[in-house]
Amino acid sequence: MKLDNETKDRLIAAMAETIASHSGELTDLDRAIGDGDHGSNMKRGFDAVLADRANLSAKPLPDMLKALGTHLVMTIGGASGPLYGTLFMALGKEIPAEPSLADASRAFAAAVNAVKARGKATTGEKTMLEVLQPVADVLQAGASNPAGLGERVKAAADAGLEATKPMKASKGRASFLGERSIGHLDPGARSSQLLTHAVIGVLAAQPALEGARSS
Amino acid sequence: MTANSRVGIVIVSHSAEVARGTVDMVRQMVGHEVPVAASGGNPAGGLGTDVASIIAAIKKVWSPKGVAILVDLGGAETNSEMAIEMLPEAWRGKVVICNAPIVEGAVMAATEAAGGGTLEQVRATAEELAPS
């Protein structure tokens, strides 16, 4: 699948738009169990990405992802900067310029592993990984069965997000709260679920994706 | 011995004031014998940490003997790790993050550095303070 520049531009715009329109909610979630800056930090990061959209979307996919990740690292200013930055930079490093679905799934799984290494975290700790890991798993399983994959990915992201509510945080600032972190959605999981929906929303409207599915 | 022959110290806090205040406390102990730099606050000037500013602080105190970084909360450590990975390759192995309380660790690390300690000695001295 080759993503044309217009599609890459729509991906950037869709991610930035969902973060901007939910930044208040992300900050509220983070105020409950963290330091209350996730929404504003993510918005600052994706605003910087959006401001560079013409330059980014003209790059080949791997370079675009790496540059996007670098913007996030340099502008977010919280732990989410290196974590989301690592996700996109590792994805850019692993993905070919014209990936098949199997290529994309493999690259995404590697990028999620890079986030785990960066955060020294794994699943079950009430973090963004509760969304990213099931998305990676569904993508990998779906490489051989692509029909309706977008819907399954979104459902996996939604279920992963909901699963953070009863969890006790053992990573990040929320872990200071111990038992009191239980009963709140994790803000990083919410931003990951929002970004997943935004990306699937753009890619699902891609006729080219059908070609990738059969290749 | 010139300052350049001593391990450099970087203080990374979510708060620019905490970072600057910690540098003041270090200076009171060791004066200007040890290169010390502060990085505090996010790229917008609020509370948080900033990879570009951490990289700049490391460059400011760079010494062939290496640089020890003291951090406060989680994001400071993650962003410092990111900053180290973005340094020139030859520098990367000579910059370490100390697992120590930021203020006490910085003062101890700088005292060891002022005595001409190696990077490993500076880190070990700071980390004696880490809660076991």
ipTM (interface predicted TM): 0.80
* Residue B110's pLDDT band (cuts 50, 70, 90): very high
Instruction: Calculate mean pLDDT across residues B108-132.
Output: 91
Report chain B residues whose CB lies below 8 A from the CB of A85: 82
Long-range contacts of A101-108, Cβ-Cβ distance < 8 Å, separation of 24 or more: A101/A1, A101/A142, A101/A143, A101/A146, A101/A149, A101/A212, A101/A213, A101/A215, A102/A143, A104/A1, A104/A139, A104/A212, A105/A136, A105/A139, A105/A140, A105/A142, A105/A143, A106/A140, A108/A135, A108/A136, A108/A139
Give the distance from residue A47's alpha carbon to the nearest chain B alpha carbon, in angstroms: 12
Q: In which residue ranges of chain A is pLDDT below 50?
A: 208, 210-215
Mind listing the pLDDT tens digit for each residue in B97-106? 999 999 999 9
**More confident of the two residues B69 and B75:** B69
- Comparing C-alpha atoms, which of A181, A161, A193, A154 is closest to residue A30? A181
Contact flag B78-A35 (C-beta cutoff 8 Å)? no
pLDDT digits (tens, 9 = 90+) for B4-16: 689 999 999 999 9
* pLDDT band, very low/low/confident/very high, at B131 (cuts 50, 70, 90): low
A51–B contact, CB cutoff 8 A: no
Mean pLDDT score, B112-118: 96
pLDDT value of position A215? 38
Q: What is the pLDDT of residue A1?
A: 80
pLDDT in tens, A44-54: 999 999 999 99
- pLDDT attached to residue B83: 96
If one counts every other C-beta atom within 10 angstroms of the C-beta of residue B128, the result is 13
pLDDT of residue A204: 87
A134 touches chain B (CB under 8 A): no
**B37 has a pLDDT exceeding 90:** yes
A83 to B46: CB separation less than 8 angstroms, yes or no? no
Sheet holding B8-13, edge to edge: B36-40, B8-13, B67-71, B95-98
Q: State the pTM of this model.
A: 0.89
Residue B86's alpha-carbon distances to A70, B91, B92, B118, in angstroms, are 10, 10, 8, 23
Mutate to test the interface with B, among A42, A46, A76 (most CBs of B within 10 A): A76
Residue B3: which pLDDT band, with cuts at 50, 70 and 90? low
Query: Given the structure tokens 């994309």, which residue do they identify?
Result: A104
- pLDDT bucket at B132, cuts 50 / 70 / 90: low
Q: Which of the following CATH numbers is that of domain A5-214: 3.40.50.2000, 3.40.190.290, 1.25.40.340, 3.20.20.60? A: 1.25.40.340
Beta carbons of B102 and B22 less than 8 angstroms apart: yes
The whole-angstrom distance between B85's CA and the closest CA on chain A is: 11
For the segment B70-89, the average pLDDT, to the nearest whole number, is 94
**Average pLDDT in the B55-83 region?**
95
Enumerate domains of chain B plus CATH numbers. 3-127 (3.40.50.510)
pLDDT score, position A35: 87
pLDDT of res. B74:
83
H or E stretch at B67: strand B67-71
pLDDT at A183: 95
